[in-house]
Amino acid sequence: MATSRFTPAERGRQMASPRPKTRDSKDTLCRNILIYGKCRYENQGCAFNHDQNKADSFENSMKKSLNVDSPAFTPAQLQSGTKKFTFSSQTVNATPFTPKGGAQDGDVSGGGVFNPAAIREFTPQVPQNYDLHATGTTNGVTPEASGSVHDPFFAMSSMAQTLPAAQYNPYAEDQNHLAAAGGSYYTSQTGYTAPMQPLQYHLYAPTGPYKQDLTPYQRQPHDFFLREDIREELHKKADATRQVLPNSQLPTVSNHYHSLVPLDTPRSGANFFGNYVSWVYKATSKKNGHTYCLRRLQGLRLNNVESVRGIQSWKRISNGNVVSVIECFTSRDFSDNSLVFIHNYHPLSKTLAEHHFNTAQGSRYTRQFSVPESILWSYICQICNALKAIHAEKLAARCIDASKVILTDKNRVRLGGCAILDVLDYESTQPLVDMQQEDFIQLGRLILSIGTNTPALGSPQTVIPQSALEQFGRTYSVELRERVIWLLSRPSPQETAQKNILELACGLSSHFVDCFDTSLHAQDEVNSNLMRELENGRIARLVMKLGTINERPEFDNDPSWSENGERYQLKLFRDYVFHQVDSSGHPVLDLGHMISSLNKLDAGIDERIHLASRDNQTVFVVSYKELKKMVANCFNELAKPHGKQASRGF
Ligand SMILES: Nc1ncnc2c1ncn2[C@@H]1O[C@H](COP(=O)(O)OP(=O)(O)OP(=O)(O)O)[C@@H](O)[C@H]1O
């Protein structure tokens, strides 16, 4: 209960009416006069002053210091003219307030009048040659070339030097962050374009070559971090997912998808979807913030709105080799009639056509490499897996084409563009069995076209010449050739037996085992990478704990808390780990020393180290075990006053 906080005496005081003292009441302007202009109790015993012209009445009331007995709140404008405010001598001597942003110009404080025009407008520094796909270095410029110094391990100072003045802070919880992450949608809402920040992919890259022939106990910085290529690839994928086009001409929002970024280039004439031009964009959903792939078929008016229902069965398919179908809708947001399909987005994926039939094809300088047989078997197995799920749902894929199968990871393929032809051909009377049989033929064509490096063979309009099969047979095993011929064969009208997906799967059993083994190896690798990062997480927490203790300006009203007792030894330990110098006074930036010291601290081993003060006057010999205890004691001391909440996460 709220009243229980007061003592009986206090409660009595609370309950008593806060009457003004009689001595002052005759000088105090009645608040009814102030509020209503008159007081109906004026002649009925009201003790306050009712004469507004009584010149000193206000001054008298204002001169009294404000306290709970103050009779009434007086708005500031009523005081003007009657009371001149004065500042204390201290306030007069105070330095005038200078807004930080304008301080460089000097005219803001100097002029006395704040002039917003005098402050230079903030211009985001967007690097012109920002190339999302640049490898190894940012914008294709090495740190040395850009004039920045490359830190051997962390490269943080080089980053600071190359960054534009207004840094993008991914952790800022303001609109700028949204603008950066949400792109044009938020840009249009806030009118502010967040500066795009190219990632420094070489950041944290350990220097020097990696020695493979080390004995198990000898470890290098490489052993403690995610492998360079994996880290870089993941960064690029994250970067691609967050990429925005601030000044694009695309609609701000289509349905509930915003921040559209095109993923392909326009193609005139017929394509996989007949005469409809298809556009692929990356877009972000307003509903859940996830990124999706938005495929728009331009200038398509649906005759039957029911046809959109054709995707319902597709939504049920969850398979590792099928790009999941999310939804389909018609849209006029692109200033025409468009049909839009939403699929899951797989950053930086390539179509098999882009991957295998490169643009330099046909050039006399390009040597044609045949695709390894194991990769072709892997494609067949993966697409077989996709077809098994699709056929089981009584559907047909109808999109096994080099331009619609996307490569989302190393040798990992997924059928993109599913469900589209089902919506377009909603009223088609072609039996499902025929369409499923067509899937086998499309798969055979795809493998043949990749194996012979002939894109045209993938198209159903092209008749497959015998020479193509012969060429294929010369490069690959008989088994693969036979399998492709089986896939391409059409049962004659007399034959009742149709090809069946389970029959294909059984025929591929030994190759499925290979795929399974490869996938287990990949999983092992992912796990071991995860384990490395797990160890790094422990070190990061330890560094954070030390950071909360070292150089703390004050704790528990003690300004020298961090300099005394155990904290002093921890400060010297910090110097021992991070601030070592060589005989000529140059910093020793030995990542191995830092990691091993922190790991020893984490483990609390018995090894003793020698900690010397900066002036070499004090020396401690302590074990990591003792240091670990000190860290725990000091950190617990810090966490104590605020309860468990304060140390959450450590
Ligand atoms: N689900 C997806 N996630 C991420 N990127 C995708 C996805 N689907 C397609 N892409 C990418 O979009 C780009 C264009 O795809 P699209 O299917 O239009 O290929 P295309 O060769 O342009 O075919 P078309 O002849 O039909 O235009 C390709 O680079 C592809 O990798």
Q: For residue 346, what is the enclosing H or E element?
A: none
- Position 513 scores a pLDDT of 97
Mean pLDDT, range 545-556, rounded to an integer: 92
Q: Indicate whether residue 634 lines ligand 1 (CB < 6 A).
A: no
For 277, phi then psi, to 5°, come to: -80, 130
- Position 383 scores a pLDDT of 97
- Three-class HEC string of 277-336: CEEEEEEEECCCCCEEEEEEECCCCCCCHHHHHHHHHHHCCCCCCECCEEEEEEECCCCC
**Which tokens in the block code for residue 554?**
């004050």
Q: How far apart are CA 377 and CA 68, in angstroms?
A: 87
Q: Locate the domains of the chain by residue range.
A: 18-89, 156-242, 253-507, 522-647
Q: How far apart are CA 510 and CA 267, in angstroms?
A: 41
- Position 170 scores a pLDDT of 36
Position with higher pLDDT, 281 vs 534? 281
Helix %, strand %, coil % of the chain (to 5): 45, 10, 45
**Chain centroid, CA 573 distance in Å:** 35
Instruction: Please give the distance, rounded to the nearest whole angstrom, from the Cα atom of residue 578 to the centre of ligand 1.
Output: 49
Contact 302, 339 (CB under 8 A): yes
Contact 498, 491 (CB under 8 A): yes
Confidence grade of residue 220 (pLDDT, cut at 50, 70, 90): low
322-349 pLDDT tens trace: 999 999 999 999 988 999 999 999 999 9
Contact 323, 346 (CB under 8 A): yes
Q: Parallel, antiparallel, or unpaired: how do β-strands 338-344 and 257-262 relate?
A: unpaired
**Which of 496, 387, 503 is closest to 443 using CA atoms?**
387
Contact 386, 442 (CB under 8 A): no
- The 10 Å CB-count burial string (b at 16+, else e) for 338-355 is bbbbbbbbbbbbebbbeb
What lies within 8 Å, CB to CB, of 323 at 6+ separation is 293, 343, 344, 346, 406, 414, 415, 416, 417, 418
Q: How far apart are CA 159 and CA 201, in angstroms?
A: 11
Q: Indicate whether residue 294 lines ligand 1 (CB < 6 A).
A: no
221-256 pLDDT tens trace: 667 777 878 888 898 999 999 999 888 889 989 999
* CATH code that applies to domain 253-507: 1.10.510.10
Q: Indicate whether residue 408 lines ligand 1 (CB < 6 A).
A: no
**Which tokens in the block code for residue 230?**
């994996």
Nearest-CA residue for atom 1 of ligand 1: 345
Q: How far apart are CA 261 and CA 263, in angstroms?
A: 6
Q: Which residue has the tokens 């920045």?
A: 148
Instruction: Please give the distance, rounded to the nearest whole angstrom, from the Cα atom of residue 280 to the centre of ligand 1.
Output: 6
Nearest-CA residue for atom 27 of ligand 1: 278
Pocket test for ligand 1, best of 263, 352, 409 (most atoms within 8 A of CB): 263
Position with higher pLDDT, 533 vs 484? 484
Q: Indicate whether residue 271 lines ligand 1 (CB < 6 A).
A: yes
Contact 118, 102 (CB under 8 A): yes
| DSSP annotation of 587 | B
Confidence grade of residue 537 (pLDDT, cut at 50, 70, 90): confident
Question: Measured from the CA of 265, which atom of ligand 1 is nearest?
Answer: 22
Q: Indicate whether residue 263 lines ligand 1 (CB < 6 A).
A: yes
18-47 pLDDT tens trace: 333 344 556 777 777 766 677 777 777 777
For 555, phi then psi, to 5°, come to: -150, 135
Pocket test for ligand 1, best of 133, 260, 265, 280 (most atoms within 8 A of CB): 280
Q: Amino acid letter at 206?
A: P
- Position 422 scores a pLDDT of 92
- Position 607 scores a pLDDT of 96
Instruction: Please give the distance, rounded to the nearest whole angstrom, from the Cα atom of residue 403 to the centre of ligand 1.
Output: 7
Q: Indicate whether residue 278 lines ligand 1 (CB < 6 A).
A: yes
- Position 206 scores a pLDDT of 56
Q: Indicate whether residue 414 lines ligand 1 (CB < 6 A).
A: no
- Position 209 scores a pLDDT of 64
Q: How far apart are CA 176 and CA 49, in angstroms?
A: 56
- Per mean pLDDT, which of 31-35, 43-47, 361-365, 501-505 is the most reliable? 501-505
CB atoms within 10 A of CB 483: 22
Q: How far apart are CA 395 and CA 413, in angstroms?
A: 19
Contact 293, 343 (CB under 8 A): yes
Q: How far apart are CA 538 and CA 558, in angstroms?
A: 30
Q: Indicate whether residue 277 lines ligand 1 (CB < 6 A).
A: no
ipTM: 0.97
Binding annotation for ATP:
295, 403-404
- Position 462 scores a pLDDT of 83
Residue 183 backbone class (left: φ over 0; alpha: ψ -120 to 50; beta: rest): left
- Position 29 scores a pLDDT of 76
Contact 152, 207 (CB under 8 A): yes
Bridge partners for 145 per DSSP: none
**Which of 4, 1, 52 is closest to 28 using CA atoms?**
52
pLDDT at 3 over 50: no
- Position 360 scores a pLDDT of 54
Position with higher pLDDT, 553 vs 209? 553
Q: Indicate whether residue 416 lines ligand 1 (CB < 6 A).
A: yes
* CATH code that applies to domain 522-647: 1.10.287.3700
Instruction: Please give the distance, rounded to the nearest whole angstrom, from the Cα atom of residue 163 to the centre of ligand 1.
Output: 33
Mean pLDDT, range 103-128, rounded to an integer: 35
- Position 266 scores a pLDDT of 61
Pocket test for ligand 1, best of 284, 349, 359 (most atoms within 8 A of CB): 349
Computed over every residue of the chain, the mean pLDDT equals 74
Q: In what order do the strands lie in the sheet with 412-415?
A: 350-351, 405-409, 412-415
